Structure 1
Amino acid sequence: MKAYLSVISLSFVLLLSACGDGKSDAAKQMAAAADSARMASQVDLSEYHLPLMLEMPVGMPQPTLLWKDEIGKLAVRAGDRFAIEVSETPADRDRLKADLERDLLKRNTIVEETPELLIYRSEFPDDTALVFHHFERWVTADGRSFRVEDTKDGTVFSLEDIRRMASAVHTKKPA
């Protein structure tokens, strides 16, 4: 009889522990979905011989990548609010700043400056309603220097768009 009760008790305990409330499984599924979404938003640029990763901002569509062989740039576009170009070029912030100062057509103002990033605002003196924000960022990976910049094709980006684009490219983390 005691053996019978212990078997029933053990079976009851196993039954209750196996049922659970489903919260643990739901949490695991949500974590897996978040990891999957994060991985889907990351693009390895090694296919283009660039030791870099592109991490798309949340809510952006899947990017279109186009290698422009004639000028040695990788163009990345995703919707209307994301367009960058990546090229292997030594960092030359002083040249960029000098070019901005010499610009006779537009008035350029530096908005943010760090050793790796320059964000600036360009506007025409006779039409202050038309304002462009641009950035150039320099990334070093595997002893090589890369310039990441917004596409200067006349698309008007907000300062928030520029900041999102400027932070989208990273060095690859070692495996």
Structure 2
Amino acid sequence: MKKITYLFATIIALSLTACGGGAEEPVEEVVETVVLKGFEELNLSEWGFNLIVMVPKEEIHGTPEVTLTERGALEIVVGLGFGLEIMYGEADIELLKMDLKEDLVFTSEIIKEEENALIYSQNIPDSGVKTQNHFLYKAQIGTEVYEVRDIIDGEFGSGMIEKMLKAAKTIKSSNTEVAV
């Protein structure tokens, strides 16, 4: 009986050692940097959002117009082809999909679906109204969740919606920690 107990104790000890059951190693958070051609970083700290996002270059498309709305959303417009809205929120993609499905006015089509993003189009059949393209992106920055979408009253083609979604995915914290 002692031999069996000794054998099990040895197996358990070896298993724990092999699995690194001792001290925990610190886990480094990997931040993937995305660079978009023709875009530059815009720091949003001035408007109360400790974020940085890529926007079309100022010298080509004009100065970014940034507005903090009464409802707490930050609108970023650059020229006629770029308009983002950023706000604190859940960015509930499943709820949006349900709303699109149940909409009585618009006929909606989901163009592209990712884990944290949705591109969709809306149309009013037989109305002569131009098809509207939109996106919603859920940005998780640390413990904060932001809802990023195109400006709702903008008229953007599907290609520009794709570019704005790529820009939305570049959002990162503007807080930098200094190593000591």
* TM-score above 0.5, yes or no: yes
Take 1:143 and 1:150, find their aligned partners in 2: how far apart are those partners? Answer: 23
2:167 is the counterpart of 1:135: no
Give unmatched runs, 5+ long, in structure 1. 1-36
Written as runs of structure 1 = structure 2, the 5 A alignment for 1:88-103 is 88-103=88-103
Could you list the per-position Cα deviations for residues 122-170 of structure 1 after superposition, in whole angstroms to 9, with x for gaps in the alignment?
11111466111000001011200001111111x3211111011112131
Amino acid at match of 2:143: G
Written as runs of structure 1 = structure 2, the 5 A alignment for 1:73-152 is 73-127=73-127, 130-152=130-152
Aligned pair in 2 of structure 1 residues 129, 91: CA closer, same or farther (>3 Å)? closer
165-174 or 116-125, which moves further after superposition? 165-174
TM-score (norm 2): 0.68
Could you list the per-position Cα deviations for residues 86-111 of structure 1 after superposition, in whole angstroms to 9, with x for gaps in the alignment?
00001311110011011111110000
Take 1:41 and 1:60, find their aligned partners in 2: how far apart are those partners? Answer: 11
Alignment RMSD (CA, Å):
2.2
Take 2:47 and 2:144, find their aligned partners in 1: how far apart are those partners? Answer: 14
Amino acid at match of 1:44: N
Take 2:167 and 2:79, find their aligned partners in 1: how far apart are those partners? Answer: 15
Amino acid at match of 1:117: A
Written as runs of structure 1 = structure 2, the 5 A alignment for 1:63-78 is 63-68=64-69, 70-78=70-78
Take 1:51 and 1:90, find their aligned partners in 2: how far apart are those partners? Answer: 18
State the identity %.
Answer: 26
Aligned pair in 2 of structure 1 residues 60, 172: CA closer, same or farther (>3 Å)? farther
Amino acid at match of 2:65: T
Instruction: Tell me if structure 2 keeps the 8 A contact 1:41–1:62.
Output: no
Take 2:103 and 2:160, find their aligned partners in 1: how far apart are those partners? Answer: 24
Choose between structure 1 and 2: higher helix proportion. 1
Instruction: Tell me if structure 2 keeps the 8 A contact 1:83–1:165.
Output: yes
Instruction: Tell me if structure 1 keeps the 8 A contact 2:91–2:136.
Output: no
SS in 1 for 2:81: coil
Give unmatched runs, 5+ long, in structure 2. 1-36
